[in-house]
Amino acid sequence: MCHYRYLCIMHMIEPFYGWRSYYIASEDELSPFYERMYSEFEFSNKIYNFYIHPQWDHFGSPTLFMKILYADYEDQFAMIELIGEWNDAIENDIMLLKRDIIEPLMKNGIDKFILIGENVLNFHYSDDCYYEEWFDDVEDGWIAMVNFHDHVIREFERINIDHYFVMGGELEEIEWRTYAPFQFYLKVQELVQKRLS
């Protein structure tokens, strides 16, 4: 699938900022991005040859960037927005995500993860060991995928790692930006519980 036109406008796509009055990862002492500095004007991060908005966070992958939109340590959930190409085959993005972002959050009690993927263009598979590990680590928690593109979901399903996540169905149709963060969490939790029961 060609995403050239989409890549050309990636510098205009900002992480969702509507919840900044509730949470800012760079001001959260428990966040992997605590005290990270950002520029509104200097574009330095690129996906392939295309610059992306400087508010996205680099976590080691050259093709996948992220933003922790909200973390609640009392209710033990985090919401992460992703952008780019999820590439385990070459870059081992899942290892970087698991080791450098997910594990620090889990050490502080987070066991429910909402991944927002409407800006994830493609997925390239390697193996499922880090997905299985993440699934096992959350124990009583869960990992939900919201608003991923159909072709990305099909790739997850094709190589049978979709069973590590709660995904598809109503989770692909949530107008999540219209919710306050806790209400969005409750909506996803309701859908997850329906799916798991």
* pLDDT tens track, the chain, 197 positions: 445 555 556 667 899 999 999 999 999 999 999 999 887 767 777 878 778 888 999 999 999 999 999 999 999 999 999 999 999 998 899 999 999 999 999 999 999 999 999 999 999 998 899 999 999 999 999 999 999 999 999 999 998 898 999 998 999 989 999 999 999 999 999 999 998 87
Bridge partner residues of 71 (DSSP) = 78
Question: What is the residue-averaged pLDDT of the chain?
Answer: 91
Summarize pLDDT for 99-124 with one digit per residue, the tens.
Answer: 999 999 999 999 999 999 999 999 99
What pLDDT score was predicted for residue 132?
Answer: 95
What the chain holds in terms of domains, given with CATH numbers, is 4-196 (3.30.750.24)
What pLDDT score was predicted for residue 123?
Answer: 94
What pLDDT score was predicted for residue 11?
Answer: 66
What pLDDT score was predicted for residue 1?
Answer: 45
Handedness of CA 41, 97, 47, 166 (dihedral sign): negative
Instruction: Please check whether residue 100 is in contact with residue 60, taking contact to mean a CB–CB distance below 8 angstroms.
Output: yes
- Residue 197's Cβ-side half-sphere holds a number of Cα atoms within 13 Å equal to 6
User: Which amino acid appears at position 164 of this protein?
Assistant: Y
Instruction: Please check whether residue 84 is in contact with residue 121, taking contact to mean a CB–CB distance below 8 angstroms.
Output: yes
The full length of the chain comes to: 197
Burial 20-49 (b: 16+ CB within 10 A, else e): eeebebeebeebbbeeeeeeeeeeebebee
What pLDDT score was predicted for residue 13?
Answer: 85
Cβ neighbours for 73, distance < 8 A, ≥ 6 positions apart: 30, 108, 109, 110
Cβ neighbours for 172, distance < 8 A, ≥ 6 positions apart: 146, 147, 148, 150, 153
Category of 180 on φ-ψ map: left (φ > 0), alpha (ψ -120 to 50) or beta: beta
What pLDDT score was predicted for residue 3?
Answer: 56
Instruction: Please check whether residue 96 is in contact with residue 130, taking contact to mean a CB–CB distance below 8 angstroms.
Output: no
What pLDDT score was predicted for residue 47?
Answer: 78
